[in-house]
Chain A
Amino acid sequence: MTAATAISAAYGLVLVALLVYVRRLRHRLRRLETEDQEQTPRSAGSAIAP
C-alpha cells in the first residue's frame, strides 16, 4: 500500500465518519428542539387555562 493511499484512506475515513455522525446528531437535535418549542407554549397554556 502506498503512503498516499494509506493516508487518504485514514483521513478520509475519519472525515466521513465524523461528518455523518455530526449531521445525524444535528438533524435529531433540530427535530427534538422543534418538538420541544411546540410543546412548551401548549403546556404553559394548559397550566394557566381555567
Chain B
Amino acid sequence: MNAPRSLVGSAALALLALGVYIGLWASPPDAFQRDYVRIMYVHVPSVSVAYLSFAIVCVTSILFLWKRQAIYDQLAHSAAELGVLFTGLALATGSIWGKAVWGTWWTWDARLVTTAILFLVYIGYLLVRELAEEPARGARLAAVVGIIGFLDVPIIHYSVVWFRTLHQPASITRGDIKLAPPMLAALMINLLAFGLLYAYLLMARLRLERLEAARLRLASEGDP
C-alpha cells in the first residue's frame, strides 16, 4: 500500500477514535441542548469537509477547462464523490438533530433547503459523468456543473444571516466564538480528524481514478 496514504489513514483512525471519545464522554453537555449537542461533533465536521470538497471540485474544474489535463478532472471527480458522501452525512445527522431539538426531521428552512440543493447538484455532477456517451464531453459538462454548483456554498453559509431561519447561526465567526473552551476543543479535534480522514479518502479515490483511467487507456489501445 502507498506509504503516505497509509500513514494519513492511521493518523485519521487514531484521531477519530479520540474525537469520538471526547465528543461522547469527555466534553460537557450544553446548558440548553444538554447531551443532544454531541451530534455537533459529527455534523459540523461533515459539513466542513463537504464544503472543502466542493471548493476542490470548483478549483480543479476551472483548471481542467483551462489546461485540459486529465489529473484535474480526476481530482474533481474524486472530490465530488466525497463531497456527496459528506453532504449526505451532514443532512442525515442534521435531520436526527432536528428531530431531537426542533421536533421535526425536516423543515423548509433556508439552510436545509440550500444544502439539499447542493447535494442534488453534485449528484447531478456524478450522473452527467456516468451517463455521458462520450467521456471527454461528460468531463467538460461536469466541470461546468461543478463550478456553477459551488456558487451555492456561500449562499448556504450566509443563509442563516440573510433569511429568518430555524437553524442556528454560526457558532464560530471571525473574532466571535460562542462555544465554551472544552466544547471548542472537542469540535477542533473532530474537525482535524475528519480533515485527515478526508485526505486519506481523497488520496485513495484519486489513485482509483488513475488506475481506472490507465485500464481504459490500455483497453482502447488493445481495440483493433
List the interface of chain A (C-beta within 8 A of B): 1, 3-4, 6-7, 9-11, 13-14, 17-18, 21-22, 25-26, 28-29, 32-33, 35-36, 39, 43
Contact = CB atoms under 8 A, between A and B. Distances in A.
Interface string B12-24: 0000000010001
Interface in B132-152: none
A38 to B, nearest CB: 11
Contacts of A36: 211, 214-215
Nearest to B13: A22
A14 B183 CA distance: 20
B36 A7 contact: yes
Given A3-B36, A10-B96, 13 more contacts: A3-B100, A6-B97, A6-B99, A7-B39, A10-B43, A13-B89, A17-B88, A18-B197, A25-B208, A29-B204, A29-B211, A35-B211, A35-B215
Classify chain B: how many residues form its interface, as a range.
20 to 34
Interface in B206-221: 207-208, 211-212, 214-215, 218
Query: Which of A6, A10, A39 gathers the greatest number of chain B CB atoms within 10 Å?
Result: A10
Given A6-B99, A13-B96, A29 B207 contact: yes
A32 B206 CA distance: 13
A3 B34 contact: yes
B214 A13 contact: no
Nearest to A36: B211
A22 B218 CA distance: 27
Interface in B114-172: none
B52 interface: no
A9 B215 contact: no
A17 B194 CA distance: 14
Contacts of A33: 211
The 8 A-B pairs with the shortest beta carbon distances in the complex, nearest first, are: A3-B35, A32-B211, A6-B100, A10-B93, A10-B39, A10-B96, A14-B42, A1-B100
